[in-house]
A and B are shown apart, each in its own frame.
Chain A
Amino acid sequence: MTLLDQPTGPSASVWPPDAHGPRRDPAPLLPDPEPFRMLGTPAADKLDPELLRDLYRRLVLGRRYNQQATTLTKQGRLAVYPASTGQEACQVAAAAVLRETDWLFPSYRDTLAVVSRGVRPVAALTLLRGNAHHGWDPKAHRTAPLCTPLATQAPHAVGLAHAARLRGDDVVALTMVGDGGTSEGDFHEALNFAGVLNAPVVFLVQNNGYAISVPLSKQSAAPTLAHKAVGYGISGRLVDGNDAAAVHSVLTEAVEHARSGRGPVLVEAVTYRLEAHTNADDATRYRTSDEVVAWRQRDPLAVLERHLREHDLIDDAGVAAAAEAAEELAAEMRAEFHSEPELDPMSLFEHVYAEPTPQLREQADLLAAELAAEADPR
């Protein structure tokens, strides 16, 4: 019995009991008031040590990936890089909880999640390198292109998940949005569609505190971003985004919730962007170094490593092995980005349509003539 279906009171005399559709008890949808944590709590004792060690290796790799991509940007090998440094727990967990047949819909800051899906770094970073808009086979990897217009990929995830369900396929779509993206209309419309269609979708909001420079206090007056789920009849979950075990656990539950037909889930992971928005940003203009220092104490990699060492779940050899794998990844990235990408100007006219229009054929001829003149400037 909830407030909404009480038989007495003024509303009962005005509204027929089944007026205007279902009334649901919001209580089961509500997120916990505090972010869910596992590491450093008794809940951690029940965790599978091998899962923790795997997450640790993924985090070490992820941190090195972020560092190397940032370095490549400083060397001019990438046009721009929005680092996920500090958010690696969300990035690697998002990929780890999905089956190969599930789909990921990332935003531009989520290249680490894409790499964690098995896409090579040079392909995952194609958009940011600037030689093409996109670098991997989306269908083979079940990973949509990086989405730059905020939250506009969220309705795509809903549509794909719904289509899969229509076909009887056991597929979940997980889409990644930032705190700023939750203000976009497309985010709202995607949640609403997902709720109405009961689509097997998980919305992962990485709340890193800032939309470039604008803090969450100027972004939303919601109790938490996870509470936004409730207005759409969706379950909201709040999790410590820097606790890799907690993120993995909550996302695993969310994906299974969606897969089992119980409906979509919105997960807010509270985390922090340790670096600036991109290499082109100056974060000192909008946040204090004290704040950054405080969050470094909650660095997801340090938090997990501390837990593993305190519980004797990893030794120096294990740490060294992870570091070595990370160096291999970094060396692979340096090698792949050392060579200049091949560029074909005439490819500009391919894939605008299935077949070029007569107008595009004319324009291709024009460019071909310009290229010929450049090659032979007599």
Chain B
Amino acid sequence: MSTVATPAPQSSAPARSLTMAQALNTALRDAMREDPNVLVMGEDVGTLGGVFRITDGLAAEFGADRCLDTPLAEAGILGSAIGMAMYGLRPVVELQFDAFAYPAFEQLLSHVAKMRNRTAGQLPLPITIRIPYGGGIGGVEHHSDSSEAYYAHTPGLHVLTPATVADGYGMLRAAIASDDPVVFLEPKRLYWSKDEITPGSVEPIGRAVVRRQGTSATLLTYGPSLPVCLEAAEAAKAEGWDLAVVDLRSLTPFDDETVMAAVRATGRAVVVHEATGFGGVGAEIAARVMERCFHHLAAPVLRVTGFDIPFPPPMLERHHLPGVDRILDAVARLQWEQ
């Protein structure tokens, strides 16, 4: 079900160990080398290399026109990227922080998401919108939002979020290769995680992955919460639970097939994400699981999410973010006594 043409893998390049930030940087560099229509634009992406250094070195290699330092205006950035895409370029836009992406909202919802549909396919907009998101890095207000539900609620956008270093590379390559606009949410707190990538690999859009097989219950999660869920699954062994963990990776399109198979296999499910719960992606997932797996379920689907509060100050954020204990408490409530 991938909508992405897979570029030929580069000559059996060996796997390399990188941080996620470096993997994203490598993906941008490889895409720019392969396709002269790909360009990067945003605030501080040029000379500085981005506040998280994701675009480090790109201006030096490709020049200021293909790694464009823009004025500080998110609607202008995304709006001008639309015009560039209409002319055949493939802009990769960096919006510096989750909560700084909101000024671009009208361009995103009214044009990026709708232009293909509006013009019956005559003006597709192959734009990748990279947004560092989520908490856990001690950021002050406006630097820690999990805004995925706004995007996932908008038809016409693909919403991807990698949780591993390899996916940072492979999924960003897929996003840039996609002829549909992609909101690419990068978990900031995983920027410094380290692992291997396979240069040239492209992960299909719309596929979830089972990160840990298990028999007792299934944790459904994505982005910054994946490592927390894997840690919880390890800790759960002491309680006698063998937890499966599914990394959704793609919020739209949603991989019902993989998710439902993983839930049916255990009969119990907990959805875990950082974003506030009410009206969140977890609510959609829980509803889909109830609609499709009701007769396989031994317990209601539970959600472990951030509280329904504005993101707290950094010194209090650990009380807001779902942690191992809150996940295990939810697992304990999955009606094991039956």
Q: Is B79 an interface residue (CB 8 A)?
A: yes
When distances are taken between beta carbons in the complex, the residues of chain A under 8 Å from B119 are 133-134, 138, 145, 351
**Distance, CA A173 to CA B78, complexed state (A):** 17
Per-residue CB proximity of A340-372 to B under 8 Å, as 1/0?
000000000011111101110000000000000
Specify the chain A residue showing the minimal Cβ separation from B39.
A166
Known contacts: A193-B70, A357-B252. The answer to whether A152 contacts B111 by CB under 8 A is: yes
Known: A196-B71, A351-B121, A359-B253. A163 touches B87 (CB 8 A): yes
User: Knowing A152-B79, A354-B124 touch, does A160 contact B86 (C-beta < 8 A)?
Assistant: yes
Interface size on B, residues (CB 8 A): 48
Which residues of B sit under 8 angstroms from A357, Cβ to Cβ?
A: 1, 206, 252-254
B3, B79, B88, B117: the one within 8 Å of A355 (CB): B3
Answer whether residue B118 sits at the interface, using C-beta atoms and an 8 A cutoff: yes
How near does chain A come to B112, taking the closest CB pair, in angstroms?
11
In the complex formed, the residue of A with least CB distance to B82 is A156
Partner of B180, one of A132, A350, A354, A358: A354
- Evaluate whether A193 and B76 lie within 8 angstroms (CB atoms) in the complex, with A352-B156, A357-B206 already known: yes
A155 and B180 contact, CB distance less than 8 A = no
A358-B1, A358-B256 as given contacts; A189 in contact with B79, CB under 8 Å: yes
Contact partners of A7 in chain B: CB under 8 A: none
Q: Within the complex, which residue of A134, A138, A144, A159 is in contact with B79, where a contact is CB–CB below 8 Å?
A: A159
User: For residue A189, which residues in chain B have a CB less than 8 angstroms away from its CB?
Assistant: 71, 73, 75-76, 79
A89 to chain B, nearest CB (A): 27
Q: Report whether A156 and B83 are in contact in the complex, using a CB–CB cutoff of 8 Å.
A: yes
B155 proximity list for chain A (CB < 8 A): 352
- Give 10 nearest A-B pairs by CB, closest first: A159-B83, A155-B79, A189-B76, A159-B80, A160-B83, A357-B253, A163-B87, A156-B83, A163-B84, A189-B73
Please list the residues of chain A having a beta carbon within 8 angstroms of any beta carbon in chain B.
132-134, 137-139, 144-145, 149, 152, 154-164, 166-167, 173, 185-186, 189-190, 192-193, 196-197, 350-355, 357-359
23 pairs from A and B in contact (CB 8 Å cutoff): A134-B118, A134-B120, A137-B122, A144-B86, A149-B106, A149-B110, A155-B80, A156-B82, A159-B82, A159-B86, A159-B87, A160-B83, A162-B80, A163-B83, A185-B75, A193-B73, A193-B80, A352-B117, A352-B155, A353-B180, A355-B1, A358-B253, A358-B254
